[in-house]
Each structure stands twice: as structure tokens, then as C-alpha cells.
């Protein structure tokens, strides 16, 4: 710590250079934070996937399946809860504002208890047929607050011939990191009973919870077999398998790592050039230090610290900017499509600091070699 004034003086010798190095490093680490944070979200989704949950979807088609299938599945041995859901798609006000709600039965909230809505909020949808839970992002987008009416205009025609579906915003809940596009949760019964008789009692998805996660794959297979020759063949998949195949098979983590690396490569050259230049300009100063009795290691330490300080500060500052951007970005980016929100976890900051140290270390390699071979007499007389 006592050498800090020495390092500080070195950095302040060319303030413009130091500031711009810091800014460049900050930009690179802002990107690093966003990219590695996005990868962290992908990992998180996979970690959080519950191996005891199985999703059952139509195998070939998205036409409705009869709700009785849900009851049949609920009766299978090893199945703790089974729930059904369907989607209501449409738009709000203008065709451009596409939106949709997932209409869930009473069991759903118990199976997906890890979702953001609280038990009290789930109960609101269970007890009030017109109630919906809206995610904060959509509530902001559509300017809704609790108690407001929300109208979705859909191609799904109601029994009364109308296409406008009215809901009451009962609660506003937090976002899911894997689904930054927002969500609306409604009551299946309300939806179903509003449909013409011929369209009633259909659903698009069955989700179930098994008592023993080890049995999930076997139960999924059993369900597939059960309906293989029916009018509604299904595909049943444990949630962790689905999480592994997210984003259309695109390996987001690999792409984000490459982009983050490109940023690091860029600042590596910058810091290397700056530190090399700084050392070259101050050879006489280093020679003086050596004359005063500073060891080789001490001088090397000073150079490294001089490189590391802007890098670490940039890493810290850059990740902080990324953390702020994560909050703002979903509102700025075009709607109707969304990547997961990056998670700026302590681990991401950790990786940023480690990378910053790595960059500082790598960039000081050449100058350090030069310093170790420094001819003190020559340096002091300015002959190098």
C-alpha cells in the first residue's frame, strides 16, 4: 500500500492516456458483463430446471387436445400433480402490439411454485375468473396498474361472437430471467367457458410433477406410449431436457464467450501498448528506483500494478454499467422478441476481475523483460 502514491504518480503522468485507457477497458468490460451475464442466465435456466417436472405437448400439431388427457395423466402412478394450460394469442389496440396470455388451471401455480408470482397472487387468479397476473414489463408497456381492465383482441372467437377478451389486472409480478419478453397469466376456466360449446374443454399443454425425479424420463415415455395411437399423439419431456435445448439449438453461451473474448483481445493490445510506452518513457525513473535499492520484483510489481489499476477499475466500472444496462435494455430493444436478460451475478464480476488481471499480466510481459535487462548506467544517462 505504501507504494500506492508511486503508482498513482505514474498513472497521473499522462492523465489523458490513463483516462482513455480506463474508458476503453470500461467499454470492453461492459460488453463482457452483458455477454458473460447472458451466458450465466442460460446456465441458471438449466440449473433451475426442475427434473421432477415433465412437459407434455402435442407431438405434431398445436391444435387443442381434450382436457380429459390431463385427468388420465394425473391418475398415472408416480404423478403428484398434473395441470393443463392453453394460450390465448392476440393483440392490444393495434395489430402491431402482439401479445398473449397463458391460461392456467388451479394446479399450475402449485407445480410452478418457483415462478415469480406469490401464492397470494396465484390465489387471485384461482378465485377471480377474470383476474390476470401481468409481468412488470408488460404492465409498463401497456400502461396498466392493479385494478385496470386489460383487453386482448384475439382470433379466438367467444361464444357470444366477440373477439375482445376482457381481463382485470389483479397483480403485477416480477420478470422471469429466461423470458424477458414478459408474461400474462389468466384463468383457464374463464377462457374455456367463454368459448362456443364445440371449442370447449381443449388445451395445448399438460405439465406435471412426479414424486421421484429419477422416474421422470420413464413416466414421460409412458405418457408418449399411452397416446401414441390416439388421435392426439404427444411429446413428453422432462424440464431439464427442454432447458438444455433452449433457443432453437443455438449455443448462446459459446457465442457470448467469443464476443467477450474479442473485447478482451482488443484491450489487451491497448494496455500493452500504453504500458510499454509508459515504461519506455520512464526508463531513467526505473533505473533510479533500482539504484535506490528496489529489487527486480519490486519494480516488476510497480509496472504490473500500473497496468492492473486501470484494468481492474474498468472491470468494476464496466460490469456496473452492464448491471444498469440490463435494467434499461428490455425497454429500449424492439418488442415481440427477446433474449433472456443477462444475470450480473457475483460470479460474472469475479470473471471480469480475473480477466482484468489476466490482461494486465499479459500486457506487462514485454516491458518487464526489458526492465529486468535494464542497464542502469545507460538508462540513467539516457542512452537507451
Minimum CB separation of residue 153 from other proteins in Å reads 9
- The candidate with the shortest Cα–Cα distance to 33, out of 324, 359, 357, 333, is 324
- Judged by CB under 8 A, the chain residues 154 through 213 that form the site for other proteins are 155
- The candidate with the shortest Cα–Cα distance to 242, out of 84, 80, 48, is 48
What pairs with residue 94 in β-bridges?
Answer: 92
The answer to whether 51 contacts other proteins (rule: CB under 8 A) is no
The answer to whether 269 contacts other proteins (rule: CB under 8 A) is yes
Q: Which of 23, 252, 353, 357 binds other proteins (CB under 8 A)?
A: 23
Q: Which of 7, 10, 11, 30 binds other proteins (CB under 8 A)?
A: 30
Minimum CB separation of residue 24 from other proteins in Å reads 4
282 to 1, 107, 384: CA distances (angstroms): 22, 72, 11
| E strand or H helix at 79 | strand 79-92
- Interatomic CA distance for residues 300 and 371, integer angstroms: 8
- Judged by CB under 8 A, the chain residues 218 through 237 that form the site for other proteins are 229, 231, 233, 235, 237
Q: Which of 339, 353, 357, 362 binds other proteins (CB under 8 A)?
A: 339
The answer to whether 55 contacts other proteins (rule: CB under 8 A) is no
The answer to whether 362 contacts other proteins (rule: CB under 8 A) is no
- Judged by CB under 8 A, the chain residues 93 through 132 that form the site for other proteins are 95
231 to 21, 84, 170, 227: CA distances (angstroms): 66, 18, 38, 8
Minimum CB separation of residue 346 from other proteins in Å reads 22
Q: Which is nearer to other proteins, 209 or 256 (CB)?
A: 256
The answer to whether 284 contacts other proteins (rule: CB under 8 A) is no
The answer to whether 375 contacts other proteins (rule: CB under 8 A) is no
The answer to whether 61 contacts other proteins (rule: CB under 8 A) is yes
Q: Which is nearer to other proteins, 196 or 298 (CB)?
A: 196
228 to 58, 221, 232: CA distances (angstroms): 11, 10, 7
What phi-psi label fits residue 124: left (phi over 0), alpha (psi between -120 and 50 degrees) or beta? alpha
Cell representation of residue 194: 367463454
* φ, ψ (nearest 5 deg) of residue 246: -60, 160
| E strand or H helix at 236 | strand 234-238
Is-contact 274 359, C-beta < 8 A? no
Q: Which is nearer to other proteins, 87 or 294 (CB)?
A: 87
Q: Which of 12, 336, 373, 383 binds other proteins (CB under 8 A)?
A: 336
Q: What is the DSSP letter of 77?
A: T
| E strand or H helix at 264 | helix 252-281
| E strand or H helix at 54 | strand 53-58
Piece in contact with other proteins (CB under 8 A), picked from 22-30, 284-292, 293-301, 369-377: 22-30
Residue 218 half-sphere exposure, CB side, CA atoms within 13 Å?
Answer: 10
Q: Which of 9, 62, 68, 365 binds other proteins (CB under 8 A)?
A: 62
Piece in contact with other proteins (CB under 8 A), picked from 191-199, 210-218, 261-269, 295-303: 261-269
Q: Which is nearer to other proteins, 265 or 350 (CB)?
A: 265
- Interatomic CA distance for residues 194 and 208, integer angstroms: 25
Piece in contact with other proteins (CB under 8 A), picked from 74-82, 214-222, 299-307, 326-334: 326-334
- The candidate with the shortest Cα–Cα distance to 23, out of 280, 266, 279, is 266
The answer to whether 252 contacts other proteins (rule: CB under 8 A) is no
Minimum CB separation of residue 72 from other proteins in Å reads 18
Cell representation of residue 53: 417436472
Q: Which is nearer to other proteins, 114 or 155 (CB)?
A: 155
Minimum CB separation of residue 165 from other proteins in Å reads 15
Q: Which is nearer to other proteins, 242 or 357 (CB)?
A: 242
The answer to whether 20 contacts other proteins (rule: CB under 8 A) is yes
* φ, ψ (nearest 5 deg) of residue 373: -95, 10
| E strand or H helix at 81 | strand 79-92
Residues that bind other proteins (CB under 8 A): 16-17, 20-21, 23-28, 30-31, 34-35, 59-63, 89, 95, 155, 229, 231, 233, 235, 237, 241-242, 244-245, 248-251, 258-259, 262-263, 265-267, 269-270, 272-274, 276-277, 332-339
Amino acid at each position: 500500500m505504501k507504494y500506492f502514491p508511486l503508482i498513482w504518480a505514474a498513472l497521473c503522468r499522462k492523465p489523458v492516456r490513463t483516462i482513455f485507457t480506463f474508458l476503453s477497458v470500461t467499454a470492453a468490460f461492459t460488453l463482457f458483463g452483458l455477454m458473460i451475464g447472458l451466458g450465466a442466465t442460460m446456465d441458471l435456466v438449466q440449473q433451475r430446471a426442475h427434473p421432477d417436472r415433465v412437459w407434455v405437448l402435442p407431438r405434431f400439431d398445436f391444435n387443442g387436445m381434450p382436457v380429459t388427457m390431463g385427468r388420465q395423466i394425473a391418475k398415472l402412478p408416480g404423478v403428484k400433480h398434473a395441470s393443463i394450460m392453453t394460450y390465448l394469442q392476440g393483440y392490444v389496440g393495434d395489430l402491431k402490439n402482439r401479445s398473449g396470455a397463458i391460461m392456467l388451471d388451479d394446479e399450475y401455480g402449485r407445480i410452478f411454485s418457483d415462478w415469480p408470482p406469490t401464492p397470494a397472487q396465484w390465489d387471485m387468479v384461482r378465485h377471480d375468473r377474470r383476474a390476470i397476473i401481468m409481468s412488470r414489463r408488460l404492465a409498463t408497456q401497456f400502461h396498466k396498474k392493479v385494478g385496470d381492465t386489460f383487453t386482448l383482441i384475439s382470433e379466438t372467437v367467444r361464444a357470444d361472437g366477440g373477439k375482445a377478451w376482457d381481463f382485470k389486472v389483479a397483480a403485477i409480478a416480477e420478470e422471469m430471467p429466461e423470458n424477458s419478453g414478459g408474461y400474462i397469466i389468466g384463468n383457464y376456466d374463464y377462457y374455456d367457458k367463454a368459448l362456443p360449446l364445440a371449442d370447449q374443454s381443449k388445451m395445448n399443454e399438460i405439465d406435471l410433477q412426479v414424486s421421484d425425479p429419477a422416474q421422470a424420463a420413464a413416466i414421460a415415455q409412458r405418457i408418449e406410449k399411452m397416446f401414441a395411437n390416439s388421435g392426439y399423439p404427444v411429446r413428453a419431456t422432462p424440464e431439464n431436457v427442454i432447458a438444455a435445448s433452449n433457443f432453437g439449438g443455438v449455443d448462446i453461451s459459446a457465442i457470448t464467450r467469443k464476443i467477450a473474448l474479442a473485447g478482451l483481445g482488443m484491450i489487451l493490445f491497448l494496455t500493452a501498448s500504453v504500458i510499454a510506452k509508459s515504461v519506455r518513457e520512464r526508463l531513467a525513473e526505473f533505473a533510479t528506483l533500482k539504484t535506490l535499492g528496489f529489487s527486480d520484483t519490486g519494480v516488476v510489481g510497480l509496472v504490473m500494478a500500473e497496468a492492473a489499476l486501470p484494468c481492474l477499475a474498468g472491470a468494476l466500472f464496466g460490469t456496473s454499467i452492464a448491471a444498469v444496462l440490463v435494467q434499461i435494455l428490455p425497454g429500449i430493444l424492439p418488442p415481440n422478441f427477446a433474449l433472456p436478460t443477462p444475470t450480473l451475478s457475483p460470479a460474472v464480476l469475479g470473471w471480469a476481475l480475473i480477466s482484468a488481471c489476466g490482461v494486465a499480466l499479459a500486457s506487462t510481459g514485454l516491458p518487464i523483460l526489458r526492465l529486468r535487462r535494464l542497464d542502469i548506467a545507460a538508462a540513467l544517462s539516457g542512452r537507451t
